[in-house]
Every structure is written in C-alpha cells, then in structure tokens.
C-alpha cells in the first residue's frame, strides 16, 4: 500500500529531474503529462475506501493533465515551429545539479519537519517539496513560454502531492474546486500562450519584454 505510494512518489520525483535535464520541448511536455498521470493515480492508491468522488477527481486529473493540456501545448509548440529550449537562463546541467541538490535538501527537510507519525515513513512530503522546487527552477531557468508552463504544471503537481496528505480531512467539494481552478488556470495559460504565439510570432519570453521599466 504505502510501498506503491512511495513508488509513485519516487517516480514523480524522478520525472521532475528528467524535466530539469531535458532540452527538447516535446519530451518536457511528455514528462509533465506523465507526472500528472502519476499523481492522478495516487489517490486511488492511498484511499482505503474509494469514494466515487475521489475516483472522479482522480480521473479528471488524469484526463486534464495527461491529455488535454499536453495536446494544447503541443499544438502551440508546433505552430511556433520550435522543439528545443536552446539557450536557457540556467543551463541544463546546472539545473539538473540544482534539482538533485533540492531533492536531497527536500528529503532532509522532510526529516526535520515535525510530521504526523503515519507520514514519517512516507516520501510524500519530500517528494512534494522537491517537485515544487523543480517547478520553480524551471520557471526561473527557462526562456521558452512552453517550458515555463510546464514548470508551472510541475509546481502545481508538487502542491497537489502535499494536498494528498490532507485528502482525508479536506472536504471533497473544496478539493474538487481547487482542482478545477488549477486546471482552468493551466488551460487559460495555454490559450494565452497560443495567442502570444500568434501576436509575437515567437514563444521566446525574452522577446516578451516590451513592458519594462
């Protein structure tokens, strides 16, 4: 039970590292999608009594994060005719190393943080922290809009993982609302990316600096 959850968490952490290391946008999108799917399955593994609502939420997560958003992003990428984040603000190797360091730090931090007894053994907190960190790193370090959206996705995934700690206590209505909001946010972002691509003919955020001081 807990073993399966840890396995999935470990997988998600590994995927964030992969995301940090990859330069190709399609694979970045794929990694983010895969991570979304992994997370979507987590509640199914965790919950002892599978309520219908949990299943619905999990399925919705998998569909949105695993299918809809990647498709949207890939479309934008194709029209922009790019598939590589050529010159990131933080290089791939340094970001990979930073990500690894973040991972170690996350594990240490999770040890240090006061946790409930049932979470002491779980990787969930460490995974959440390291994923959030990776997401922020992508947001800070990459220059293509699509990479940043992926970073945002991964950041959200990390937060979602932390939310799983509370899944038993949070009303599902709230949970569902949060999920809906996040999804719509990513969706809207995807639309804006699409519009930007049309308006600027580029998804390089370094060109998106008309508005400046």
Q: Which residues bind other proteins (CB under 8 A)?
A: 89, 113-116, 132, 136, 139-143, 145, 148, 152, 155-156, 158-159, 162-163, 165-166, 168-171, 174-175, 177-178, 180-182, 184-185, 188-189, 192-193, 195-196, 199-200, 205-206, 208-213
Sign of CA dihedral 99, 102, 106, 108: positive
Is the Cβ of residue 30 or residue 144 nearer to other proteins in the bound state? 144
CB of 169 to other proteins, least distance (A): 3
Angle between helices 124-141 and 92-112 (to 10 degrees): 150
Is the Cβ of residue 37 or residue 160 nearer to other proteins in the bound state? 160
CB of 185 to other proteins, least distance (A): 6
Phi and psi at residue 57, to the nearest 5°: -60, -45
Asked if 45 contacts 5 with a C-beta cutoff of 8 angstroms, the reply is yes
CB of 138 to other proteins, least distance (A): 9
CB of 50 to other proteins, least distance (A): 20
CB of 41 to other proteins, least distance (A): 20
Determine the Cα angle at 108 with ends 106 and 111, to 5°: 110
Is the Cβ of residue 48 or residue 212 nearer to other proteins in the bound state? 212
Residue 49's SS3 state is: coil
Give me 20's structure tokens: 């940090």
Is the Cβ of residue 22 or residue 183 nearer to other proteins in the bound state? 183
Exposed e or buried b per residue across 162-176, where buried means at least 16 C-beta atoms within 10 angstroms of its C-beta? ebbbeeeeeeeeebb
Is the Cβ of residue 52 or residue 169 nearer to other proteins in the bound state? 169
């Amino acid at each position: 039970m807990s073993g399966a959850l840890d396995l999935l968490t470990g997988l998600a952490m590994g995927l964030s590292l992969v995301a940090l290391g990859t330069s190709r946008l399609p694979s970045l999108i794929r990694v983010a999608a895969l991570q979304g799917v992994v997370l979507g399955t987590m509640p199914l593994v965790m919950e002892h009594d599978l309520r219908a609502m949990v299943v619905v939420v999990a399925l919705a997560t998998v569909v949105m994060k695993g299918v809809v958003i990647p498709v949207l992003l890939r479309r934008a990428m194709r029209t922009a005719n790019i598939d590589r984040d050529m010159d990131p603000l933080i290089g791939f190797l340094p970001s990979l190393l930073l990500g690894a360091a973040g991972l170690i730090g996350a594990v240490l931090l999770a040890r240090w943080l006061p946790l409930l007894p049932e979470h002491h053994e779980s990787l969930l907190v460490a995974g959440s922290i390291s994923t959030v960190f990776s997401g922020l790193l992508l947001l800070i370090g990459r220059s293509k809009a699509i990479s940043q959206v992926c970073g945002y996705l991964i950041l959200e995934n990390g937060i979602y993982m932390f939310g799983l700690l509370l899944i038993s206590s949070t009303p599902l209505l709230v949970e569902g609302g949060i999920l809906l909001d996040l999804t719509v946010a990513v969706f809207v972002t995807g639309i804006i990316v699409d519009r930007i691509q049309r308006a600027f003919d580029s998804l390089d955020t370094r060109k998106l600096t008309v508005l400046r001081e």
